[in-house]
Chain A
């Protein structure tokens, strides 16, 4: 399937759906790893929106990326419950150990902040790929990263 076919298939899937833009953008990101700017116009045409409206929605939401993330995305919760259990220090230690800052991609690994995973009673919390980590520590996350990147 060519790139254009993939997008056309996604748009066809959502044809006639009420408020289809977010579901479409989620599917596009699942297919391409990000929402490429050259998808804006075809999406706009399908939904009878302007290109600017689509671009505006993409840029509003934190989830949508304009470039693919690393193969392994590590999300670290920065919210209050995790802070109360040493989350801030954990993030600093992990940044030091991995030699990168939150918001950066280095090699296969992307480090991101997240604001609450709903794991506030087993804080600090993180997500390594699809795997949730409660009662997290920098060492445990580093070990998981080593495991998935091996």
Chain B
């Protein structure tokens, strides 16, 4: 009997290791021969630990499991946590899983599993096509940077490919620091070879022989999985001196961050990679021309690179058939916070915010009324029910003074204190600012003080706060100071009474 118990950090945090141990011991006691496979997560985090058992070739789910629920798995009769066939659970069945097609189905480190499921086919295709045509496919796909900036990936690759240099680099930005975001972590832990393949294709396309994956130190599980996967891929002759034994050299190295949110900003990341303080660099020069160690560098998010193998296998045009407007393909949405069905939901761009929160997410976890959803991490705006018609795509959110960012959606119920959340946005910016530009470094501190004045009932403080937000937005060097006003201003716009009640009380 085959039994799957996820090894993903979220599943482990909810007790997956204890459940796996209980399954092994229960099977031992009963003399049953079982094979426990530690798969990635399906992304239905509210059901974790989600155990799967194969029956007649179909994988049936049970969750959320505790060790106490284990003995009943081996007994006749309906299990109280039975969920039926996993891939028929509506949250899963409604998705378009391209990037996450394998995640949750396979043993993340099994090269055999990977190969059996379209693994390395994209790289093989790229080796046949050559660099220029590979870039052409990526351009045709309309893929845009999934880290949040949304810059067309094909154009970035073309710039690096056209640059003359003795050494070029592929840098994967895996410094996923936005609250509400965990797709990068899920992919690195659940399907690391997919990222390796995407990076190898990028290296081949632009003529880079070395890649770095810069992972935040808060992700020890992902770091371990990536290191093991790189070692295995190298031993199998996929990467290393020659890609698949027929292409140019390409090797990979994991670099671990050190707890600085700002290193998710690409130029700050490059400085950190070089062993410097993670200070933001002014652009130009573009990293595509002068990036890591002053060499032409592709800096792409995990999800951008992991989308590439599918694009190469199925064609850029097939990828571009999904999506809305200028947002092509699929977006792995992460819905989290105070939501009933939290997890990863990959779908073509265009789903409405209301559908996502109420139908996919199932409303709040607490059962209390919905209040607001913050989209795109700590630098993203809060959106209320009036925005429920907004389709999830880069342009629609930008038009509303917000951003999709890395597509993390954090739901809050009516108990949320918006003044406290606005203050937190400024506080976070003050803690994490790299300090290079004044509007961000000083502005964030003044922002905390001004919000404290608002809370104390100072009637002049709100106007001052708006002015400060304008200075930060227009004057900051990067998105850290530039977008911190988004959550602050949107909170005030949506819930003005929470920023004035204290004034009235004081008056």
Residues of A within 8 A of B (CB): 18-23, 25-26, 47, 53, 56-57, 60-64, 78-85, 88, 114-123, 125, 130, 132-135
Contacts and interface: CB of A to CB of B under 8 A. Distances in A.
A120 B273 contact: no
Interface string B418-435: 001100100010011010
Nearest to A79: B179
B260 A80 contact: no
Contacts of B219: 118
A120 B13 contact: no
B177 A85 contact: no
20 contacts: A19-B275, A19-B293, A22-B255, A23-B256, A26-B217, A26-B258, A56-B277, A84-B337, A84-B410, A84-B413, A115-B428, A118-B182, A118-B185, A119-B182, A121-B335, A121-B344, A122-B10, A123-B336, A130-B220, A135-B14
B218 A120 contact: no
A80 B374 contact: yes
A88 B338 CA distance: 14
Interface residues on B, range: 35 or more
A121 B336 contact: yes
A62 B342 CA distance: 29
B334 interface: yes
Given A60-B260, A81-B410, A119-B10, 13 more contacts: A21-B276, A22-B275, A80-B374, A80-B378, A80-B424, A81-B180, A83-B416, A84-B411, A85-B338, A115-B177, A122-B48, A132-B221, A134-B13
A80 B482 CA distance: 19
Contact of A85 (B258, B277, B337, B428): B337
B9 interface: yes
Contact of B13 (A56, A60, A133): A133
A60 B218 CA distance: 16
A82 B410 CA distance: 9
B255 A23 contact: yes
Contacts of B293: 18-19
Contacts of A130: 220
Q: Nearest 7 A-B pairs (CB), nearest first?
A: A21-B275, A121-B342, A134-B13, A79-B179, A61-B258, A120-B336, A121-B45
Contacts of B412: 84
A21 B274 CA distance: 8
Q: Which of B277, B292, B420, B424 has the most CB of A within 10 A?
A: B277
Nearest to A62: B259
A79 B414 CA distance: 18
A99 B315 CA distance: 59
Contacts of B9: 117-119, 132
Contacts of B365: 85
A120 B334 contact: yes
B278 interface: yes
B275 A20 contact: yes
Contacts of B10: 118-119, 121-122, 134
B343 interface: yes
B46 A121 contact: yes
B264 to A, nearest CB: 11
B408 to A, nearest CB: 7
Contacts of A57: 275-277
B338 A84 contact: yes
A123 B275 contact: no
Contacts of A63: 217, 257-259
Nearest to A80: B179
A84 B255 CA distance: 32
Interface in B159-198: 176-182, 184-185
B175 to A, nearest CB: 11
A141 to B, nearest CB: 12
Nearest to A114: B218
Contacts of A53: 276
Contacts of B336: 81, 120-121, 123
A18 B256 CA distance: 14
A18 B364 CA distance: 47
Contacts of A115: 177, 179, 261, 428, 431-432
Contacts of B317: none
A53 B10 CA distance: 37
Contacts of A21: 275-276
Contacts of B297: none
Contacts of A82: 179
Contact of B278 (A60, A119, A123): A60
B337 A123 contact: yes
Contacts of A19: 255, 273-275, 292-293
A107 to B, nearest CB: 24
Contacts of A47: 275
Given A18-B293, A19-B275, A120 B179 contact: yes
Contacts of B424: 78, 80, 83
B95 to A, nearest CB: 15
B42 to A, nearest CB: 12
Interface string B356-376: 000000000100000000100
